[in-house]
Amino acid sequence: MKYPVNEIFETIQGEGSMTGIPSIFIRLQGCPVGCSWCDTKHTWEVKPELQVDVSQIISVSNESENWAQMTSQDLLAQVLKYQARHIVITGGEPCLYDLTELTQVLHDAGCTTQIETSGTFEVKTHADTYVTVSPKVNMKGGYQILTSALNRADEIKHPVATEQHIDDLNALLAKREENRKISICLQPISQKKRATELAIQTCIKNNWRLSVQMHKYLAID
């Protein structure tokens, strides 16, 4: 299995229940979901003419549309050059790809894995992968949030700016089977004051968590 990789970098997980954990981020190229506020629009398309050598994408956080094809073993070799052993596979939309082999290889090497997905594609990972679903409802691409993804989630991290977003989340939660312990995090969109206040009030009311995208406040990648 080969994966189109946009970048690999080591940092601190800045969002959700895993906030603060040293992590290696593997960002895969490709996402058809079309969120208007997306801050990684450079990952949307896998353009054949922008395929580059692996050496050109490693540690490049410059929002390039370039991508390199890497196998699970290529990715493991790169991961082992860093210190962190928590691996976050993100995108783009990582669930465009079958991540079973990659997450298995990483777990076999002693790593923990986490994926961050919109929930619009089937989740295929190692059974122990921590799955963060950040549902993107009614986006331009027209994809529905899959109930199977909601049921597989260990964490639902929901972007919030208006009451409608809370209603959307409650509608999604009503679809879930109550058979898995789950953490629910509200994340104010674009750090706006009104969105943050709404998220705080809703978290307190429901005993949910607030996720504030710590890396943006710290101005790190």
Q: How far is the CB of 162 from ligand SF4 (least distance, A)?
A: 17
Nearer to ligand SF4, 67 or 105 (CB): 67
93 sits near ligand SF4 (criterion: CB under 6 A): yes
The radius of gyration of the chain's CA atoms, rounded to the nearest angstrom, is 17
Q: Site size for ligand SF4, by CB under 6 A?
A: 12
Alpha helices in 60-138 (DSSP H): 72-79, 100-108
135 sits near ligand SF4 (criterion: CB under 6 A): no
Pick the stretch among 31-39, 56-64, 105-113, 149-157 that binds ligand SF4 (CB under 6 A). 31-39
92 sits near ligand SF4 (criterion: CB under 6 A): yes
Counting Cα atoms < 13 Å in the Cβ hemisphere of 82 gives: 21
Q: How far is the CB of 136 from ligand SF4 (least distance, A)?
A: 5
C-alpha to C-alpha distances, 181 to 66, 106, 152, 157, 177, nearest whole angstrom: 38, 24, 10, 14, 10
Q: State which of residues 19, 40, 59, 61 lies at the interface with ligand SF4 (CB under 6 A).
A: 40
119 sits near ligand SF4 (criterion: CB under 6 A): no
Q: How far is the CB of 217 from ligand SF4 (least distance, A)?
A: 19
| Burial profile 34-61: b = 16 or more Cβ within 10 angstroms, e = fewer | ebeebebebbbebeeebeeeeeebeeee
Helix (H) or strand (E) holding 174: helix 163-175
Of residues 76, 70, 56, 101, the one with CA closest to residue 4:
70
Nearer to ligand SF4, 136 or 157 (CB): 136
31 sits near ligand SF4 (criterion: CB under 6 A): yes
Which residues contribute to the site for ligand SF4 (CB under 6 A)?
31, 33-35, 38, 40, 43, 91-93, 118, 136
